[in-house]
Amino acid sequence: MRILKLIAVAACILALSVAPALAAGTIKIGAILAVTGPASFLGAPEAKTLEMMAEDINAKGGIEGKKVELVIKDSGGSPEKAVSFAKQLIDEDKVFAIIGPSTSGETMKIKDIAEQGKTILLSCAAAEAIVNPVAKYVFKTPQKDSDAVIRIFRQMKKMGITKIGVLSSNTGFGNAGKQQIEKLAPEHGIQIVLSEVYNSSATDLTAEVTKIKAAKVQAIVNWSIEPAQAIVIKNARQMGLTIPIFQSHGFGNIKYVQAAGAAADGVIFPAGRLLVADTLSDKNPQKKVLESYKKEYEAKYKEDVSTFGGHAYDAMKIMQQAIIATGVVDEEKVRTTIENMKGLVGTAGIFNFSPTDHNGLDANAFEMLTVKDGKFAVLEK
Amino acid sequence: MRTSRYTPAFALLVVIAVIQLLTLVSGKAFYLTQLTMAAYYSLIVIGLCLLMGFAGQISLGHAGFFAIGGYTSAVLTTLDLSAYKDRALVALLTKLHILVSRQDLYGGITLCFHPWVAFVAAVLLALGVAWAIGIPVLRLRGHYLAMATLGFGTIIYSIVLGTQRFGAADVISSVPPFPLGFGMSVSGETALRVPNYYIAWGLVTVVMVLSTNLIHSRVGRALRSIHGAEDAASAMGVDTARFKLYTFMLSAVLAAVAGVFLTHYNGGIGPSEAGVMKSVRYVAIVAVGGMGSIWGTLIMSVVLNFCSLRGYFGSYDDAVFGAILIVIMLFAPDGIIGSDLRRLVKMVMLKFKSSHGDTEAPRKA
Amino acid sequence: MIELFFQYLVAGLTYGTIYASVGIGFNIIYNTTGIINFAQGEFVMLGGMTAVTLHAFLPLPLAILGAVLITMIIGGLIEVAFIRWLVKPSVLRMIVITIGISILIREGALAVWGEGVRSLPYFTGNEVSALSLGGVRVSPQVLWSIGVCTVIVVLLNLFFKFTMLGREMRACAANREAAALCGIPTRNIVTFSFVLSAGIGALAGCVVSPITYTQYNVGTGLAIKGFTVAILGGLGNSMAAVGAGFILGILESFSIWVLPTAYKDAISIAILLAMLFVRPSGLFGNKEAMKLKDF
């Protein structure tokens, strides 16, 4: 076993040292992803997606006649490794662009590095702070937290909900969502009675939910991207709380629905349309992209597609389209092309970038979904 | 043929310079980035080695001190007070250059504490905390001490994660460079890579020399007597409690200093730096480096941190680390450099000496 | 108000039983070897993961039984491979080895099962069912874990008091050399203690899996809590670990009542440390007994 591992390691080192030799005439794209570690549910599908797409692009002759060379670095979700890898990719590998990191914390730590190194960064992380303030070279593909919050608040208005309790996990995702909720609540006439942060590796959250129950709210907003969010739902229902539970777009992983079991029924959350691709009408402009990605991914990896992998898909797609539209592999020009790109259909929505908006998505990128009999379904209006 | 106790330090300086020249010649200067980061991590491990190997006390909470240093500096140097610049106190502090204004990357002007002020605050805070918790904690022994220091680490981690001012789960980013004078500064800019490499390693060398002196001083002997047999040392009149506390504070300060500099070098700090698993990792590095050998610890720390930061093992990073721990502990229980290499060196020296007809008995190690 | 009090108490008991069932396992190995086995959390994870896998084609009780047996075998193999042949290993050396083992098991689990989260079905009822005791609601799984935890503690006590093997293990704990001189096969006893604690860890992993879920990396978090309660209770005493587990759980739960939940860990650990400073040999520990063990 140990010998096998050593051989694997030796092979890795060899591969790393051989890699630059193949570089001529290719487009080198770096990726910093949390393939292992606590955020691996983000990084693993993202890495698989990128590998699948690179293979696909190269099989079809590459971009503008040049093959794509992917350099994936596994950060394990740790920001200091992300810093080291970002410097490596920019200074040594001289990559054309970087896709990732998977988490907001890592992205925020390398935002300045990418900006100083004048390297395009297409982040797969959610936090709004990544593109606000706008950094010239930094873009992101997941939908904005604020848009998710706005969709939830609109839905609440329809349901006549004004007093809410907020639970969020102690990770970058949870923190970003919490701040947006607190910022946007007043203008939507929503009152936050209680806002609590729970441990993302919590094993049970009965006490937290008890506190919410005692606060007598009309609905719970539960903002997290980790498995612990399913524990909240379960504990709330066990306690006999029947008020509506709203989740974030971080709930878009069918494994969480399975984990929450019967308790997940009726949960409402905004998400990209990837999860309900087969129920969309044929007129929907995203339908074709979503179905082809879903089919290809699920056939290749024999596992359910998740919206997180979709963020990497969008990043690669943007890169590919921008290079084609520019016609030359020139970092400055491609950056300008991305900044002015309109109407690109991705898995997360339809991207319309501008110099002041490096995300390019609006609230329409989200669909309000619910869970019915253990499956995702579009929420009936 | 006597070797001074400073010989290894000189050797280290030579190695540092040779490595830099090698990277220059081969056009691989980018290795210096990870070597610099590894140097700062080594500071914590050296401090921990003094605590574990010489004072015989374990600490599973040293990432906490690193975080105290890093976060204090990061918060003070990014806390924008420009909104209050008309207040008398703020104006006075600005006049005294305790507050400095600078332009951030996105064009805004911020008014923050001078990095040196933040540095002093960080060190004092680490000293204070180490003193305050050291007194009760160091009364505990064995597993109870391990547990208490682990608890301390957990508390710091939990405070960092729960407090919005510390960025909560987010990192504190846009930490400015740390000016050292003479036009030098601790910063991650590519242009400053070589000076920063020398700054970091210069600091490590200074700490190594000071540690060597400490070990060979009266204090060092007292410390070793504590490690050997605390009760006997105490009976002989060694103030064991005080020496343990001082070593604990010293190692805390080293961790905090590492935290400050690495935070400025990386331009930010995140909660993962405060995690309990980081502390466990530091302890493991000391163990595989050889508990009583600061040089062995330094070498292991640089090798392991460098490989990890370079991403050599990809997704197997943790697995390789685990395997290294097991293999070294199974086959070289005193650490890879610790006893075996020393014994090896001693044997070689003996041979050398006998062939030169030197009759002096080998010094006891 | 009083209803709320009991609801927090139930939450505390839920946390407590999770911590306690992990904490018990630490003591068995500590008793025979004097070390804290940092891989104990991984046994809990392995139990849960294996049971979920076996449950795909076996009924639940058999799946749990199978998972416990498989984990016991793994525990035994680990001891034979890494610990058994060491001659008088120092405590630190053993601890670092167990840290290494824990990392390897975790990475192995990642390779085998991937990063996904799994769970066993609820033993009784489902995710939403709860018993109502005068307005206070308890999930039946919580009662299951309290029950299993109690049974384990009772059986362990009987085993250590009334069986030959149990007495030999206690002899080992008291003085390993003397035990060896009396003809007790101390090496086999140490192996057996790994097997036993792996089994207990695996069983705990199965019982709490519906509540906490199982993922390849849950072991570390559980181990830290288990380690905390095992030591705070006073090492070497299973009952004490259970007591400390419930104290920690209830402290956490009630700290949430009055303070922001983000500081739950900081507050509960700070209170526990304060207790430890007053009683440096553990909350239920014996000062004399502690002196016999060294680090």
Same fold, A27-143+290-361 and A145-271: yes
**Chain C residue closest to A255 (CA)?**
C117
Least confident residue range of A2-11, A368-377, C40-49:
A2-11
SS3 state at A122? strand
The domain that contains C172 carries what CATH number?
1.10.3470
Contact B189 A111 (CB under 8 A): no
Q: Which of A3, A4, A5, A9 to mutate to test the interface with B (most CBs of B within 10 A)?
A: A9
Higher pLDDT, C110 or B362: C110
A14 at the C interface (CB within 8 A)?
no
Neighbours of A342 (CB within 10 A): 10
What is the DSSP code (8-state) at residue A192?
A: E
C261-275 residue pLDDT tens? 888 888 888 888 888
Segment C114-125 shows an average pLDDT of 88
Per-chain mean pLDDT for chain B: 84
Q: How many CB atoms sit inside 10 A of residue C119's CB?
A: 24
CB contact under 8 Å between A135 and B268, yes or no, is no
Q: Which whole number is the average pLDDT over A199-226?
A: 90
Q: Is the pLDDT of residue B220 over 90?
A: no
Kindly tell me if the per-residue pLDDT of B108 is higher than 50: yes
Q: Which chains does B contact via 3+ CB–CB distances below 8 A?
A: A, C
Q: Which residues of C touch A197 (CB under 8 A)?
A: 260-262
Q: Of B165, B353, B121, B200, which Cα lies nearest the Cα of B271?
A: B165
For position C287, what pLDDT does the model report? 56
Geometric angle at alpha carbon B197, from B195 and B200, rounded to 5°: 110
Reported residue count of chain C is 295
Domain boundaries, chain A: 27-143+290-361, 145-271
A140-155 average pLDDT score: 93
Is A112–B30 a contact, with Cβ atoms under 8 angstroms apart?
Answer: no
Establish if C134 belongs to a structural domain.
no
For residue C285, the enclosing domain spans 2-124+140-292
Mean pLDDT, residues C5-24 taken together? 89
Q: Which residue has the higher pLDDT, A190 or B3?
A: A190
CATH number of A27-143+290-361: 3.40.50.2300
Q: Give the separation between CA A8 and CA A15, rounded to whole angstroms.
A: 10
Supply the pLDDT for residue B358.
Answer: 41
Chain A residues inside the 8 Å CB shell of B317: 36, 74, 76
Contact across the interface for C127 and A211, Cβ inside 8 Å: no
pTM of the model: 0.87
Closest partner CB to B318 (pick from C90, C103, C227): C103
Residue C133 covered by a domain: no
Min Cα distance A106 → chain C (Å) is 20
The pLDDT score that the predictor gives to residue B143 is 80
The C-alpha atoms of residue B48 and residue A317 are separated, in whole angstroms, by 48
CB-based contact C208 A256, cutoff 8 Å: no
Does the beta-carbon distance from C263 to B158 stay under 8 Å?
A: yes
C12 part of a folded domain: yes
Distance between B178 CA and the closest CA of chain C, angstroms? 32
**Structure confidence at residue A15 (pLDDT):** 44
Q: Which ipTM was obtained for this model?
A: 0.87
C294 closest CA partner among B144, B34, A275, A246: B144
> What are phi and psi for residue B234, nearest 5 degrees?
-60, -40
Question: What is d(CA B64, CA B217) in angstroms, rounded to the nearest whole number?
Answer: 29
Please tell me which of the candidates B168, B268, B309 has its beta carbon nearest to residue A84: B309
pLDDT single digits (tens) C129-186: 888 887 788 899 999 999 999 999 899 989 988 999 988 888 887 788 888 888 888 8
Q: Per residue, what are the HEC states of B214-243?
A: HHHCHHHHHHHHHHHCHHHHHHCCCCHHHH
pLDDT confidence of residue B85: 78
Give how many domains chain C has, as a whole number: 1
CB-side exposure of C168: number of CA atoms within 13 Å? Answer: 17
The pLDDT of residue A2 is 41
Q: Least CA distance to B307: which residue of chain A?
A: A13
Identify the pLDDT of residue C295: 38
CATH number for the segment(s) A145-271: 3.40.50.2300
Q: Which residues of A touch C23 (CB under 8 A)?
A: none
Least confident interval from A147-161, A319-333, B90-104? B90-104
- 8 Å CB contact of B272 and A109: no
- Rounded CA-CA distance B205/B43 in Å is 10
Query: Which of A107-111, B135-139, B223-227, B268-272 is predicted with the least confidence, judged by mean pLDDT?
Result: B223-227
Please give the residue of chain C at the shortest CA–CA distance from A36.
C115
Residue C91's closest CA among A328, A181, B159, B56? B56
Bigger pLDDT: C85 or C78? C78
**Which pLDDT band, with edges at 50, 70 and 90, does A312 fall under?**
very high
A196 φψ region: left (φ > 0), alpha (ψ -120 to 50), beta (else)? beta
Do C262 and A41 count as a contact with CB atoms less than 8 A apart? no
Cβ of B106 within 8 Å of Cβ of A135? The answer is: yes
More confident residue, B104 or B171: B171
Rounded CA separation A125/A339 (Å): 18
Nearest CA-CA partner of A34 in A172, A178, A230: A172
Mean pLDDT check: name the lowest of A130-139, A369-378, B87-96, C181-190. Answer: B87-96
**Is the predicted pLDDT of residue B342 greater than 60, yes or no?**
no
Query: What b/e string do you get for C12-24 counting C-beta neighbours within 10 Å, with b at 16 or more?
Result: bbbbbbbbbbbbb
Average pLDDT (A262-281) is 90
Judge: C96–B287 Cβ closer than 8 Å, yes or no: yes
Distance CA C129, CA C140 (A): 7
Calculate how close chain C gets to A209, using CA atoms only, in Å: 10
Q: Which of C263, C272, C267 is nearest to C245 (CA)?
A: C272
Chain B environment of C104 (Cβ under 8 Å): 319, 322-323, 326
The token pair at B362 is: 């080998």
- Over 80: is that where the pLDDT of C44 sits? yes
- Domain membership of residue C96 (yes or no) is yes
φ/ψ (deg, to 5) at A233: -60, -45
| Average pLDDT score over residue span B272-282 | 88
- Long-range residue pairs from C162-171, CB within 8 A, at least 24 positions apart, any chain: C165/C189, C165/C192, C169/C31, C169/C32, C169/C193, C170/C31
Q: Which of chain A's residues have a Cβ under 8 Å away from the Cβ of B188?
A: 83, 87, 113
Residues above pLDDT 90, as percent of chain B? 36
pLDDT given for residue A318 in this prediction: 94
Helical spans, DSSP H, in chain A: 2-18, 40-59, 79-87, 104-116, 145-159, 172-184, 206-214, 228-238, 254-260, 287-301, 307-326, 331-339
Minimum CA–CA partner of B60 in chain C: C224
pLDDT in tens, A15-37: 444 444 444 588 999 999 999 88
Among chain B residues, the shortest Cα distance to A88 is held by B30
Say yes or no to pLDDT of B37 above 90.
yes
Which residues, at least 6 apart from A124, have a Cβ–Cβ distance to it below 8 Å? A33, A42, A46, A99, A100, A101, A102, A140, A141, A142, A308, A311, A312, A315
Residue in B58, B142, B168 nearest the CB of C293: B142
Q: Which of A141-155, B221-235, C91-105 has the lowest mean pLDDT?
A: B221-235
Please tell me the least confidently modeled range out of A240-244, C173-177, C286-290.
C286-290
